[in-house]
């Protein structure tokens, strides 16, 4: 992410524009512009070499008017409080636009997880919980995996919380491993959710999905299943994917003359989304600079890496063929890029609608944990498809009714629902 782009400032700018369009009371707007609670703490960990290392941890709870805060925990070397604030804010809107009874939260630790041993990761996970356990729980804040974290790490965190409270509490974390309270379908959920919204966008634009081409940024969990879904569900072609190479410390774009085979790439990618370059080249893949993904002749762009990568600089390289931008990542598009999309009539599926499949299935996981009854995978994905399709058309209807950009329409839907919940709970009466 460019050093000039502050994710939280971007989130506030997006919100302010829509608040003005909604004629939102300034006091209510001020409540929603900022998180309700923020936690910053230090986590000491005894490393395998015997040294003691201290890590910086965060948790932000933006708004819980509609239900417990919900949002992932990132392990990333460039994590900041402002990034976490932005992501927590977007989670509030994401849960509201998907119409699930949750609020927005986000957490993180400043660390490159690839530099840690398994034991060090476990100790860091348990340390994060020891710092936060009094302020999280199934009824107030439910974390989940995000960039740099895994189902196994959620399992350790859930176990530590259960130890501290003295009872097995699977619903305190979602995204857990199968057999440890996790839900079938959760692994695929965010990427497939992206594809469900892309499918509906292509229908709306009267575009044939079987003749459509996608260019995808990223090859982590979201991008992997978005690529699989685009090929296998929609019958389209994936021109390229990109990934951050943790060995070279830079990004590369991978393409193939016959189109990317995501199932093959899954066999040569590590848990951090780094594709084995030598094996890819041996299989006929062309390797280019990491920014090249946005230059490909494609109908659909799917930025599914990190925030701010679709910006004033990168859009200059974008093909005129692009008709749809589906935001698999959180906050990938800057306000300058938004203006470009509006001017060029590019259909945008905003992040907190497009990638809501993960949090929706996390909600399903919480429900299953609460009931101690688990659904088959087909049922989970069917319920997800219904939720995502309904959310997409709710935003599209608002966009057409008000004559506004899809992102603004999504904000209108989400903000209205959160404000309504605050009103119903008496938060705006002055007596709460």
Looking at the annotation, which residues are catalytic? 106
Sheet holding 286-289, edge to edge: 286-289, 250-255, 237-245, 213-217, 300-303, 324-326, 347-349
Cα(297)–Cα(290) distance, rounded to whole angstroms?
16
What values do phi and psi take at 40, rounded to 5? -135, 130
B/e letters for 82-104, b = 16+ CB within 10 Å, e = fewer, are ebbbbbbbbbbbbbbbbbbebbb
Cα(294)–Cα(314) distance, rounded to whole angstroms?
7
Quick check: 209 and 291 in contact, CB under 8 A?
A: no
What values do phi and psi take at 411, rounded to 5? -60, -40
Q: What is the three-class DSSP state of 60?
A: strand
Angle between helices 81-97 and 357-371 (to 10 degrees): 70
Cα(152)–Cα(57) distance, rounded to whole angstroms?
19
Distance of CA 84 to the CA centre of its chain: 12
**Which tokens hold the place of 370?**
């609460």
Cα(315)–Cα(294) distance, rounded to whole angstroms?
8
């Amino acid at each position: 992410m460019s050093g000039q782009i502050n994710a939280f400032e971007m989130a506030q700018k997006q919100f302010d524009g829509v608040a003005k369009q909604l004629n939102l009371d300034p006091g209510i707007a001020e409540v929603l512009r900022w998180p309700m609670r923020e936690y910053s703490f230090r986590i000491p960990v005894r490393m395998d070499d015997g040294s003691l290392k201290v890590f910086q941890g965060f948790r932000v709870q933006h708004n819980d008017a509609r239900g417990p805060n919900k949002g992932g925990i990132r392990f990333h070397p460039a994590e900041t409080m402002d990034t976490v604030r932005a992501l927590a804010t977007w989670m509030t809107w994401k849960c509201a636009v998907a119409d699930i009874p949750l609020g927005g939260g986000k957490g993180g630790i400043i660390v490159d997880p690839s530099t840690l041993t398994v034991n060090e990761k476990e100790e860091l996970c348990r340390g994060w919980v020891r710092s936060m356990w009094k302020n999280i729980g199934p009824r107030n804040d439910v974390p989940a995996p995000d960039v740099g974290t895994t189902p196994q790490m959620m399992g350790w965190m859930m176990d530590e919380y259960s130890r501290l409270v003295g009872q097995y509490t699977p619903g305190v974390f979602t995204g857990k491993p199968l057999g440890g309270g996790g839900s079938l379908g959760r692994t695929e959920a965010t990427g497939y959710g992206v594809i469900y919204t892309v499918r509906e966008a292509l229908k709306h634009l009267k575009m044939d999905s079987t003749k459509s081409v996608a260019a995808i940024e990223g090859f982590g969990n979201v991008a992997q299943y978005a690529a699989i879904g685009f090929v296998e569900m929609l019958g389209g072609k994936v021109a390229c994917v990109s990934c951050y190479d943790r060995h070279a410390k830079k990004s590369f774009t991978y393409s193939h003359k016959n189109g990317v085979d995501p199932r093959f790439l899954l066999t040569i990618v590590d848990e951090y989304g780094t594709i084995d370059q030598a094996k890819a080249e041996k299989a006929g893949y062309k390797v280019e600079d990491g920014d090249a993904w946005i230059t490909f002749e494609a109908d659909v762009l799917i930025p599914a890496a990190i925030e701010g990568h679709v910006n004033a600089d990168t859009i200059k390289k974008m093909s005129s063929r692009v008709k749809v931008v589906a935001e698999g990542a959180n906050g990938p598009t800057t306000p300058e890029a938004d203006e470009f999309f509006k001017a060029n009539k590019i259909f945008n599926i905003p992040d907190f609608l497009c990638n809501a499949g993960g949090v929706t299935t996390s909600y399903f996981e919480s429900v299953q944990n609460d009931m101690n009854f688990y659904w088959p995978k087909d049922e989970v994905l069917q319920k997800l498809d219904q939720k995502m399709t309904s959310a997409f058309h709710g935003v599209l209807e608002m966009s057409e009714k008000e004559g506004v950009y899809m992102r603004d329409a999504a904000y209108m839907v989400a903000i209205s629902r959160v404000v309504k919940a605050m009103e119903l709970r008496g938060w705006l009466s002055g007596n709460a």
